[in-house]
Every structure is written in structure tokens, then in C-alpha cells.
């Protein structure tokens, strides 16, 4: 997400580009605020959600996966499988099911803020 935002913001375009950049910025802020709340619910400091790659490391820690799994996100095609597994683990760690995991995987921009601001409680690492 950070790479996409940086790429779009680096482009100079007239008219529509400014609007697209504003929409992406709103999405990015929404996801970061949602992840901040998810991290706090899981007993981590919310600011850790703001640092790229470190937030992924902390998310792996929250769901009970080993930290070296971050390397798997750099392998093409494997990263999609790992990302879904982590999304599923996040959902289970907060008492949610497969449908919520699919939402986190495909529509994280909506489902992370929903998870962060809902009354869902952290029940512990799902993968532990």
C-alpha cells in the first residue's frame, strides 16, 4: 500500500491526478488508523502500525507467526498465499470467521478500520 501511494503521489497530472491522490491518501489514513486500533487491541503500541515492514512484523507477532515469515512476502505468488493466511489468522485472533478473513484480504481498506473500531476483542494469537 505504501509503495502504491508513493508512486501515485510522485506522478504529476492535471485535474484528475489531484483527486486520485486525495482519495488514495484518505484510504491510506483510514487503513493506518484502523491498524493502529487493531494493534492497540492486541496489546501493541499503535504507532507501530505506521512504520512499513515493521507493522507487518508486529502483525505476524500478533497472530502468532514467526518473524521470518516477512521474507515470504517478497516471493512472487507465495506472498498471496501468505497474505491470505495472515488475514485468516488476524480474523481468528479477533474471534472472526472465514468471511471476515476474506474481507481483510480483499478489502482491507474497509475491514481493518471495521475491526479496529468494532467491539471485537483480541482472543490471542490464532497460529500459536
For residue 3, give the C-alpha cell.
Answer: 509503495
Interaxial angle between packed helices 108-117 and 16-41, expressed in degrees from 0 to 180 and rounded to the nearest 10: 40
Residue 36: what pLDDT? 97
Give residue-wise pLDDT tens across range 11-42: 555 567 888 888 889 988 989 999 999 999 99
Give residue-wise pLDDT tens across range 42-82: 999 999 999 999 999 999 999 999 999 999 999 999 999 99
Give this prediction's pTM. 0.83
Q: b/e per residue, 97-108, with b = 16+ CB within 10 A?
A: eeebbebbbeeb
Amino acid at each position: 500500500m505504501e509503495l502504491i501511494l508513493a508512486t501515485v503521489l510522485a506522478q504529476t497530472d492535471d485535474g484528475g491526478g489531484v483527486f486520485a491522490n486525495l482519495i488514495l491518501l484518505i484510504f491510506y489514513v483510514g487503513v493506518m488508523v484502523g491498524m493502529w486500533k487493531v494493534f492497540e487491541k492486541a496489546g501493541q503500541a499503535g504507532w507501530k502500525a505506521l512504520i512499513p515492514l515493521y507493522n507487518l512484523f508486529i502483525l505476524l507477532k500478533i497472530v502468532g507467526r514467526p518473524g521470518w515469515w516477512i521474507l515470504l512476502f517478497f516471493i512472487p505468488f507465495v506472498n498471496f498465499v501468505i497474505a491470505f493466511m495472515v488475514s485468516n489468522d488476524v480474523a481468528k485472533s479477533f474471534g472472526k470467521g472465514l468471511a471476515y478473513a476474506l474481507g481483510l484480504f480483499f478489502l482491507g481498506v474497509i475491514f481493518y478500520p471495521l475491526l479496529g473500531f468494532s467491539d471485537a476483542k483480541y482472543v490471542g494469537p490464532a497460529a500459536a
